[in-house]
A = this chain, B = another copy of it.
Amino acid sequence: MSATIREVATAAGVSTATVSRALRGLPYVDEATRRRVVETAQRLDYVASPSASRLASGRTGTIAVLTPYVARWFFATVISGVAMALTEGPLDLLLVEVGNPERPSTVPLEQRLRSRADGAVAIALPDDHPEISQLIEHDFPLTVVGSLSDRVSSVAINDIETGRLATQHLINLGHRDIGLISGATNDDGFATQDDRTDGYNEALTRNGITPSPSLTSFGSFTREGGERAMVELLSRETTPTAVFCLSDEMAFGAIIALRRHGLTPGIDVALVGVDGHPQSELANLTTVAQPVAEMGRLAALALQEKLSVGESYVPSKQSVSVELIVRSSSAPPKGN
Protein backbone atom coordinates (compact mmCIF):
# COMPACT_ATOMS: atom_id res chain seq x y z
CA MET A 1 0.00 0.00 0.00
CA SER A 2 0.93 3.61 -0.22
CA ALA A 3 1.46 6.19 2.46
CA THR A 4 -1.29 7.23 4.86
CA ILE A 5 -2.02 10.65 6.20
CA ARG A 6 -0.47 9.71 9.52
CA GLU A 7 2.84 8.85 7.96
CA VAL A 8 2.88 12.20 6.22
CA ALA A 9 1.96 13.92 9.47
CA THR A 10 4.75 12.24 11.36
CA ALA A 11 7.29 12.88 8.64
CA ALA A 12 6.33 16.53 8.42
CA GLY A 13 6.17 16.91 12.17
CA VAL A 14 2.53 18.02 12.28
CA SER A 15 -0.85 16.49 13.08
CA THR A 16 -3.03 14.68 10.58
CA ALA A 17 -5.50 17.53 10.78
CA THR A 18 -2.89 19.95 9.56
CA VAL A 19 -1.90 17.65 6.74
CA SER A 20 -5.54 17.40 5.72
CA ARG A 21 -5.97 21.17 5.81
CA ALA A 22 -2.73 21.90 4.06
CA LEU A 23 -3.30 19.49 1.22
CA ARG A 24 -6.86 20.61 0.59
CA GLY A 25 -5.92 24.25 0.51
CA LEU A 26 -8.00 25.18 3.55
CA PRO A 27 -7.29 28.43 5.38
CA TYR A 28 -5.56 28.77 8.73
CA VAL A 29 -2.41 27.01 7.67
CA ASP A 30 0.90 28.78 7.81
CA GLU A 31 2.40 29.05 4.36
CA ALA A 32 5.68 27.58 5.50
CA THR A 33 3.86 24.66 7.09
CA ARG A 34 1.81 24.10 4.00
CA ARG A 35 4.87 24.00 1.82
CA ARG A 36 6.56 21.53 4.11
CA VAL A 37 3.48 19.28 4.17
CA VAL A 38 3.01 19.40 0.42
CA GLU A 39 6.65 18.61 -0.11
CA THR A 40 6.53 15.71 2.34
CA ALA A 41 3.37 14.31 0.76
CA GLN A 42 5.00 14.44 -2.62
CA ARG A 43 8.12 12.76 -1.36
CA LEU A 44 6.12 9.92 0.21
CA ASP A 45 3.92 9.68 -2.90
CA TYR A 46 0.89 10.27 -0.73
CA VAL A 47 -2.59 10.55 -2.20
CA ALA A 48 -5.59 10.73 0.10
CA SER A 49 -7.77 7.62 0.01
CA PRO A 50 -11.04 8.62 -1.64
CA SER A 51 -13.03 6.04 0.29
CA ALA A 52 -11.75 7.34 3.59
CA SER A 53 -12.34 10.98 2.84
CA ARG A 54 -15.73 10.25 1.35
CA LEU A 55 -16.75 8.31 4.38
CA ALA A 56 -15.54 11.02 6.71
CA SER A 57 -16.87 13.97 4.76
CA GLY A 58 -20.07 12.58 3.37
CA ARG A 59 -19.26 13.90 -0.09
CA THR A 60 -18.35 11.53 -2.88
CA GLY A 61 -16.61 13.91 -5.23
CA THR A 62 -18.23 12.19 -8.16
CA ILE A 63 -21.00 13.08 -10.49
CA ALA A 64 -22.93 10.48 -12.44
CA VAL A 65 -23.91 10.72 -16.07
CA LEU A 66 -27.21 8.99 -16.71
CA THR A 67 -27.70 7.91 -20.28
CA PRO A 68 -29.79 5.39 -22.18
CA TYR A 69 -26.99 4.88 -24.74
CA VAL A 70 -23.30 5.48 -24.57
CA ALA A 71 -22.26 4.88 -28.17
CA ARG A 72 -24.81 6.93 -30.09
CA TRP A 73 -23.42 10.19 -31.32
CA PHE A 74 -25.64 12.60 -29.44
CA PHE A 75 -25.17 10.82 -26.14
CA ALA A 76 -21.46 10.22 -26.52
CA THR A 77 -20.97 13.86 -27.41
CA VAL A 78 -22.91 15.12 -24.41
CA ILE A 79 -20.84 12.82 -22.21
CA SER A 80 -17.67 14.28 -23.66
CA GLY A 81 -18.96 17.75 -22.86
CA VAL A 82 -19.57 16.73 -19.27
CA ALA A 83 -16.11 15.19 -19.08
CA MET A 84 -14.69 18.42 -20.40
CA ALA A 85 -16.31 20.42 -17.62
CA LEU A 86 -15.21 17.96 -14.97
CA THR A 87 -11.55 17.69 -15.83
CA GLU A 88 -11.22 21.27 -14.74
CA GLY A 89 -12.08 20.13 -11.23
CA PRO A 90 -11.28 17.09 -9.13
CA LEU A 91 -14.57 15.33 -9.73
CA ASP A 92 -14.94 11.74 -10.85
CA LEU A 93 -17.31 10.79 -13.64
CA LEU A 94 -19.44 7.74 -13.06
CA LEU A 95 -21.14 6.40 -16.16
CA VAL A 96 -24.55 4.84 -15.61
CA GLU A 97 -26.84 3.34 -18.21
CA VAL A 98 -30.42 4.34 -17.50
CA GLY A 99 -33.57 4.08 -19.51
CA ASN A 100 -32.38 1.84 -22.30
CA PRO A 101 -35.48 -0.27 -22.90
CA GLU A 102 -33.32 -3.14 -24.12
CA ARG A 103 -31.25 -3.28 -20.96
CA PRO A 104 -33.56 -2.68 -18.03
CA SER A 105 -31.92 -2.45 -14.63
CA THR A 106 -33.03 -4.41 -11.63
CA VAL A 107 -31.90 -2.07 -8.86
CA PRO A 108 -33.78 1.23 -8.46
CA LEU A 109 -31.69 4.13 -9.75
CA GLU A 110 -31.84 6.06 -6.52
CA GLN A 111 -30.25 3.14 -4.70
CA ARG A 112 -27.57 2.76 -7.35
CA LEU A 113 -26.63 6.40 -6.93
CA ARG A 114 -27.05 6.88 -3.22
CA SER A 115 -23.72 7.76 -1.57
CA ARG A 116 -22.07 6.98 -4.86
CA ALA A 117 -22.41 10.36 -6.54
CA ASP A 118 -23.13 13.86 -5.29
CA GLY A 119 -25.28 14.62 -8.28
CA ALA A 120 -26.10 13.57 -11.81
CA VAL A 121 -26.54 14.80 -15.35
CA ALA A 122 -29.30 12.99 -17.23
CA ILE A 123 -29.12 12.84 -21.01
CA ALA A 124 -32.29 12.96 -23.06
CA LEU A 125 -34.29 11.59 -20.15
CA PRO A 126 -37.38 13.69 -19.44
CA ASP A 127 -37.98 14.74 -15.85
CA ASP A 128 -41.08 12.58 -15.74
CA HIS A 129 -39.23 9.42 -16.61
CA PRO A 130 -39.99 7.02 -13.74
CA GLU A 131 -36.44 6.64 -12.50
CA ILE A 132 -35.52 10.29 -12.99
CA SER A 133 -38.70 11.39 -11.31
CA GLN A 134 -37.92 9.20 -8.35
CA LEU A 135 -34.48 10.78 -8.14
CA ILE A 136 -35.97 14.26 -8.07
CA GLU A 137 -38.41 13.27 -5.36
CA HIS A 138 -35.48 12.10 -3.27
CA ASP A 139 -33.96 15.56 -3.76
CA PHE A 140 -31.01 14.07 -5.54
CA PRO A 141 -29.13 16.94 -7.23
CA LEU A 142 -29.85 16.62 -10.91
CA THR A 143 -29.53 18.45 -14.19
CA VAL A 144 -31.05 17.32 -17.45
CA VAL A 145 -29.86 17.95 -20.97
CA GLY A 146 -32.01 17.50 -24.03
CA SER A 147 -35.26 18.61 -22.50
CA LEU A 148 -36.32 21.59 -20.42
CA SER A 149 -37.68 21.06 -16.95
CA ASP A 150 -39.47 23.07 -14.31
CA ARG A 151 -38.24 20.83 -11.55
CA VAL A 152 -34.49 20.81 -12.12
CA SER A 153 -31.94 22.79 -14.07
CA SER A 154 -31.95 21.93 -17.72
CA VAL A 155 -30.10 22.67 -20.93
CA ALA A 156 -31.76 22.22 -24.29
CA ILE A 157 -32.51 23.71 -27.63
CA ASN A 158 -35.91 25.14 -28.41
CA ASP A 159 -37.44 22.10 -30.06
CA ILE A 160 -40.51 23.91 -31.29
CA GLU A 161 -38.39 26.51 -33.01
CA THR A 162 -36.25 23.71 -34.42
CA GLY A 163 -39.24 22.06 -36.00
CA ARG A 164 -40.48 25.37 -37.32
CA LEU A 165 -37.09 26.31 -38.73
CA ALA A 166 -36.63 23.06 -40.61
CA THR A 167 -40.16 23.02 -41.96
CA GLN A 168 -40.23 26.68 -42.91
CA HIS A 169 -37.02 26.14 -44.84
CA LEU A 170 -38.71 23.43 -46.88
CA ILE A 171 -41.78 25.58 -47.40
CA ASN A 172 -39.62 28.47 -48.53
CA LEU A 173 -38.13 26.18 -51.14
CA GLY A 174 -41.62 25.66 -52.50
CA HIS A 175 -42.61 22.36 -50.91
CA ARG A 176 -46.21 21.75 -49.84
CA ASP A 177 -46.34 18.01 -49.27
CA ILE A 178 -43.88 17.79 -46.43
CA GLY A 179 -43.55 14.49 -44.63
CA LEU A 180 -42.32 13.87 -41.11
CA ILE A 181 -40.12 11.09 -39.87
CA SER A 182 -40.76 11.10 -36.16
CA GLY A 183 -39.30 8.95 -33.40
CA ALA A 184 -41.29 6.70 -31.14
CA THR A 185 -44.87 5.72 -31.89
CA ASN A 186 -45.91 5.48 -28.26
CA ASP A 187 -46.15 9.08 -27.23
CA ASP A 188 -45.21 8.76 -23.58
CA GLY A 189 -44.72 12.47 -23.13
CA PHE A 190 -41.38 12.58 -24.87
CA ALA A 191 -41.25 16.34 -25.16
CA THR A 192 -38.38 16.61 -27.62
CA GLN A 193 -40.30 14.70 -30.20
CA ASP A 194 -43.63 16.34 -29.48
CA ASP A 195 -42.19 19.84 -29.59
CA ARG A 196 -40.39 19.36 -32.87
CA THR A 197 -43.59 17.95 -34.26
CA ASP A 198 -45.54 20.94 -32.96
CA GLY A 199 -43.08 23.25 -34.68
CA TYR A 200 -43.53 21.31 -37.88
CA ASN A 201 -47.31 21.55 -37.65
CA GLU A 202 -47.18 25.23 -36.77
CA ALA A 203 -45.02 26.07 -39.74
CA LEU A 204 -47.35 24.18 -42.04
CA THR A 205 -50.50 25.75 -40.65
CA ARG A 206 -49.03 29.23 -40.66
CA ASN A 207 -48.43 28.79 -44.36
CA GLY A 208 -51.90 27.55 -45.07
CA ILE A 209 -50.94 23.92 -45.36
CA THR A 210 -53.06 21.37 -43.53
CA PRO A 211 -50.90 18.82 -41.72
CA SER A 212 -51.80 15.31 -42.77
CA PRO A 213 -51.18 12.32 -40.53
CA SER A 214 -50.67 10.22 -43.62
CA LEU A 215 -47.39 12.02 -44.16
CA THR A 216 -45.91 10.93 -40.84
CA SER A 217 -44.02 7.76 -40.04
CA PHE A 218 -41.81 6.69 -37.15
CA GLY A 219 -38.12 5.81 -37.12
CA SER A 220 -37.27 5.33 -33.41
CA PHE A 221 -34.38 7.77 -33.74
CA THR A 222 -32.15 5.18 -35.38
CA ARG A 223 -30.71 4.90 -38.85
CA GLU A 224 -32.43 1.59 -39.46
CA GLY A 225 -35.69 3.06 -38.24
CA GLY A 226 -35.30 6.07 -40.49
CA GLU A 227 -34.76 3.76 -43.41
CA ARG A 228 -37.93 1.82 -42.70
CA ALA A 229 -39.87 5.02 -42.10
CA MET A 230 -38.82 6.43 -45.47
CA VAL A 231 -39.76 3.21 -47.22
CA GLU A 232 -43.14 3.44 -45.60
CA LEU A 233 -43.65 7.06 -46.68
CA LEU A 234 -42.77 6.09 -50.23
CA SER A 235 -45.49 3.48 -50.21
CA ARG A 236 -48.25 5.90 -49.18
CA GLU A 237 -50.79 7.14 -51.73
CA THR A 238 -49.44 10.70 -51.68
CA THR A 239 -45.69 10.69 -51.34
CA PRO A 240 -44.14 13.86 -49.92
CA THR A 241 -41.73 15.96 -51.99
CA ALA A 242 -39.84 16.80 -48.83
CA VAL A 243 -39.34 15.12 -45.47
CA PHE A 244 -38.37 16.56 -42.11
CA CYS A 245 -36.48 13.95 -40.07
CA LEU A 246 -36.37 14.47 -36.33
CA SER A 247 -32.72 13.40 -36.23
CA ASP A 248 -29.80 13.25 -38.61
CA GLU A 249 -29.32 9.55 -38.04
CA MET A 250 -32.88 8.87 -39.18
CA ALA A 251 -32.20 11.14 -42.15
CA PHE A 252 -29.19 8.98 -42.99
CA GLY A 253 -31.49 6.01 -43.07
CA ALA A 254 -33.93 7.94 -45.22
CA ILE A 255 -31.15 8.71 -47.69
CA ILE A 256 -30.29 5.04 -47.93
CA ALA A 257 -33.92 4.16 -48.52
CA LEU A 258 -34.25 6.79 -51.25
CA ARG A 259 -31.15 5.47 -52.95
CA ARG A 260 -32.54 1.95 -52.88
CA HIS A 261 -35.59 3.26 -54.69
CA GLY A 262 -33.49 4.98 -57.30
CA LEU A 263 -34.33 8.38 -55.92
CA THR A 264 -31.91 11.19 -55.16
CA PRO A 265 -32.11 13.25 -51.96
CA GLY A 266 -32.47 16.90 -52.85
CA ILE A 267 -33.68 16.13 -56.33
CA ASP A 268 -36.55 13.72 -55.95
CA VAL A 269 -37.17 14.24 -52.27
CA ALA A 270 -35.81 17.06 -50.12
CA LEU A 271 -34.52 16.13 -46.68
CA VAL A 272 -33.80 18.05 -43.49
CA GLY A 273 -32.48 16.54 -40.27
CA VAL A 274 -31.71 17.69 -36.75
CA ASP A 275 -28.43 17.48 -34.84
CA GLY A 276 -25.51 18.69 -36.86
CA HIS A 277 -24.09 15.18 -36.84
CA PRO A 278 -20.45 15.03 -38.03
CA GLN A 279 -21.46 12.91 -41.00
CA SER A 280 -24.18 15.29 -42.14
CA GLU A 281 -21.63 17.02 -44.34
CA LEU A 282 -20.65 13.71 -45.92
CA ALA A 283 -24.31 13.04 -46.60
CA ASN A 284 -24.89 16.56 -47.93
CA LEU A 285 -27.67 16.73 -45.43
CA THR A 286 -29.36 19.99 -44.52
CA THR A 287 -29.69 20.01 -40.75
CA VAL A 288 -30.64 22.07 -37.75
CA ALA A 289 -27.43 21.87 -35.73
CA GLN A 290 -27.31 21.96 -31.97
CA PRO A 291 -24.20 22.59 -29.86
CA VAL A 292 -24.24 19.15 -28.29
CA ALA A 293 -20.90 19.03 -26.47
CA GLU A 294 -21.47 22.53 -25.17
CA MET A 295 -24.83 21.45 -23.81
CA GLY A 296 -23.14 18.71 -21.83
CA ARG A 297 -20.61 21.16 -20.52
CA LEU A 298 -23.29 23.63 -19.48
CA ALA A 299 -25.28 20.93 -17.74
CA ALA A 300 -22.23 19.84 -15.78
CA LEU A 301 -21.51 23.42 -14.78
CA ALA A 302 -25.10 23.95 -13.67
CA LEU A 303 -24.87 20.82 -11.55
CA GLN A 304 -21.64 21.95 -9.94
CA GLU A 305 -23.26 25.29 -9.25
CA LYS A 306 -26.15 23.57 -7.56
CA LEU A 307 -23.81 21.42 -5.52
CA SER A 308 -21.82 24.37 -4.28
CA VAL A 309 -24.79 26.61 -3.60
CA GLY A 310 -26.89 24.03 -1.82
CA GLU A 311 -30.46 24.44 -0.62
CA SER A 312 -31.02 27.95 -1.89
CA TYR A 313 -30.22 26.98 -5.46
CA VAL A 314 -32.82 27.99 -8.00
CA PRO A 315 -33.14 25.69 -11.04
CA SER A 316 -32.25 27.37 -14.30
CA LYS A 317 -33.45 26.72 -17.82
CA GLN A 318 -30.78 27.23 -20.40
CA SER A 319 -31.98 27.33 -23.96
CA VAL A 320 -29.11 27.16 -26.43
CA SER A 321 -29.50 28.24 -30.00
CA VAL A 322 -29.62 26.12 -33.10
CA GLU A 323 -28.35 26.84 -36.58
CA LEU A 324 -29.81 25.78 -39.89
CA ILE A 325 -27.06 24.42 -42.10
CA VAL A 326 -28.26 24.26 -45.67
CA ARG A 327 -26.81 21.61 -47.95
CA SER A 328 -27.86 19.98 -51.17
CA SER A 329 -30.31 17.53 -49.59
CA SER A 330 -32.82 20.36 -49.55
CA ALA A 331 -33.73 21.95 -52.85
CA PRO A 332 -36.92 23.14 -54.51
CA PRO A 333 -39.38 20.48 -55.67
CA LYS A 334 -38.90 19.06 -59.14
CA GLY A 335 -41.65 20.96 -60.84
CA ASN A 336 -40.25 24.37 -59.87
- Whole-angstrom distance between the alpha carbons of A51 and B58 in the complex? 9
Instruction: With CB as the reference atom, state the residue of chain B lying closest to A96.
Output: B93
| Interface-located stretch among A8-16, A77-85, A180-188, A231-239 | A77-85
Q: How far is the CA of A51 from the CA of B62 in the complex (A)?
A: 12
| A274 CA to B256 CA, complexed, in Å | 21
Chain A, 293-336, contact with B by CB distance < 8 Å: what is the 0/1 string? 10000000000000000000000000000000000000000000
6 more A-B residue pairs beyond the given contacts A2-B114, A51-B55, A51-B115, with a C-beta to C-beta distance below 8 A:
A47-B115, A76-B79, A83-B95, A94-B95, A252-B282, A256-B281
Interface string of A261-284 (1 = CB under 8 A from B): 000000000000000001101110
**Closest 9 interchain pairs by CB?**
A76-B76, A51-B54, A71-B80, A51-B55, A70-B80, A279-B279, A71-B77, A93-B95, A71-B76
Q: What does DSSP make chain A's interface, helix, strand, loop or mixed?
A: mixed
Checking B47, B60, B256, B283 against A114 with a beta-carbon cut-off of 8 angstroms, the contacting residue is: B47
| Chain A 150-180 residues near chain B, CB threshold 8 A | none
A interface size (C-beta, 8 A): 46
A47-B92 Cα distance, complex, nearest whole Å: 21
Of all chain B residues, the one with the shortest Cβ separation from A48 is B115
Interface residues of A in 37-56 (CB under 8 A from B): 45, 47, 49-52, 54-55
Task: Give A76 to B73 CA distance when docked, in angstroms.
Answer: 8
User: In the assembly, what is the distance between CA of A279 and CA of B227, in Å?
Assistant: 13
Neighbouring B residues of A71 by C-beta, 8 Å: 73, 76-77, 79-80, 293
Q: Which residues from B are CB-within-8-Å of A96?
A: 93
Let me know if A94 and B93 touch, CB within 8 A.
Answer: yes
A105 within 8 A of B: yes
Query: Which A residues between 92 and 148 are near B, CB-CB below 8 angstroms?
Result: 92-97, 103, 105, 111, 114-116
Contacting residues, chain B, for A281 (C-beta < 8 A) = 256
Contacts of A69 in B (CB 8 A): 80
Residue A255 lies at the interface, judged by CB distance under 8 Å to chain B: yes
The answer for the CA separation of A279 and B255 in the assembled complex, in Å, is: 11
Residues B80 and A116 in contact, CB atoms below 8 Å apart:
no
Give Cα distance in the complex from A77 to B71, angstroms: 5
Ordered by A's residue number, 10 sampled pairs between the chains whose C-beta atoms are within 8 Å are A47-B114, A47-B115, A50-B115, A51-B51, A51-B54, A52-B55, A71-B293, A83-B97, A92-B116, A252-B279
Q: A51 and B60 in contact (CB under 8 A), knowing A93-B95, A255-B282?
A: yes
- Closest B residue, CB atoms, query A65: B95
Task: Establish whether residues B79 and A47, one from each chain, have CB atoms under 8 Å apart when the complex forms.
Answer: no
What residues on B are CB-neighbors of A60 within 8 Å?
51
Residues of chain B with a CB closer than 8 A to A76's CB:
70-73, 76, 79
Q: Answer yes or no: A223 CB below 8 A from chain B CBs.
A: yes
Give the Cβ gap from A145 to chain B, nearest Cβ, in Å.
Answer: 14
